Amino acid sequence: MKKICLTVVGLYIGLFAGFAQTSYDSSKYRPQELTFEEANIVSSYYHQDGNNSAVTGGIGTEKLTDISNSFDLKYYIYDNSYRKHTITAEVGIDHYTSASSDMVDLKANSSASHADTRIYPSVNWTMENEKKGTTIGVGLAFSREFDYASYSANVNFAVKTNNRSGEFSAKAQVFLDKVSLVLPSELVATVAGTSGASSGREHDRYPTTARNTFDLSLSYSQIINKRLQVMLLGDVVAQSGYLSLPFHRVYLTDGTVHQEHLPSSRLKIPLGLRASYFLGDKIIIRTYYRYYTDDWGLTAHTASIETPVKITPFFSVSPFFRFYTQHGTTYFAPYEKHTAAETYYTSNFDLSTFNSNFFGAGFRFTPPKGVFGLENFSMLEIRYGHYQKNIGMNSDVLSLNLKFK
């Protein structure tokens, strides 16, 4: 039931991959039958704890454990015009247990919300014209958990400069989501629901409402010289529909309990800069900065650095550090600080003012004869990260990434 933000896990699995360009080689052999390119298996374990649960109005345990697994297969083929077609199919499964979500029903010893499984398959197709330096693609994805269903689609386009040292890319995505209106137990009889019918299955017992997201992402990467590469990034994200979470409680100054209530639209604009500097043959310095603002009054700054160090030709260590600072929305107030005169209110500390740090290291092994002597087992990577907020929330994440070619 409780949606887990996977930003940390995503950062942790693949912080700021390189974006080197290559020139077109007309003599290269190109298979005109479907050919296996690679497969990736990623597993991660995530654990967090804290004392500001939004489910219980900004107080109470945030203890949560999540086990995530994803598997993808990538195939490619060249057509008669020497354009490369790549098809990637992925399926992911997350399972979590959450002490805070279990408090949706204060009377039950344990409710359906204490644990959940999310399944998210996706498929993507791209066509790259290596001679012209252009790429187009489309994708479809689906995600389902106890109280949330999401359908998404994307289209993307990229074009390289004539000398292949720069690349502009654009990606448009749409997410059409359904939120199940799972209410706090004491509000079930007092809050009117929206339309929805029960089919007898547990997750269909609740009425649902829509949440839609439209995202346009633009980027430009450039090789400055043989040591320095940079990338500029920008997004415009527009959301509409039910943007609250129905089981988040808000306690007013008079002691009464209400549902979280937030505006039905939100416009987000993040802008970022990445830079990679090759310090000799063994060390890369990768940096990232992002500024974020939205029309809820929330602003944030992110700065991070990762320094992969090649210990041997086949083994590298990548320590990383990320600092994040956020000025929260005016819609936020902690437990029993909101008043009945306010139109919008939340006690979700993710929308408050706070600072956070995320640090750890990755270890990558890519032996020429394959991991453990298995020729097709091309890469093994283990990463660990520790995340801490200055408002009392801490988490740890451990990830294993296996690549087969």
Reduce the DSSP state of residue 37 to 3 states and report it: strand
CATH of domain 7-404: 2.40.160.40
* Distance (Å, whole) CA 367 – CA 364: 10
Q: In this structure, are residues 148 and 119 in contact, taking their beta carbons and an 8 Å threshold?
A: no
pLDDT for the residue 20: 37
Q: Which residue has the tokens 């990338």?
A: 231
What are the domain boundaries of the chain? 7-404
* Distance (Å, whole) CA 71 – CA 119: 12
Q: How many CB atoms are located within 10 Å of the residue 130 CB?
A: 20
The pair of three-digit structure tokens given for residue 223, joined into one six-digit string: 């090789």
Nearest to 317 by CA among 366, 364, 359: 364
* Distance (Å, whole) CA 335 – CA 346: 9
* Distance (Å, whole) CA 253 – CA 248: 17
pLDDT for the residue 204: 52
pLDDT for the residue 105: 72
* Distance (Å, whole) CA 387 – CA 360: 9
Q: In this structure, are residues 230 and 273 in contact, taking their beta carbons and an 8 Å threshold?
A: yes
pLDDT for the residue 69: 97
Spell out, as residue ranges, where the chain has pLDDT lower than 70.
1-29, 31, 107-113, 189-205
Nearest to 260 by CA among 347, 365, 175: 347
- CA-based Rg of the chain, rounded to a whole angstrom? 23
Q: Which residue has the tokens 């967090």?
A: 48
pLDDT for the residue 30: 72
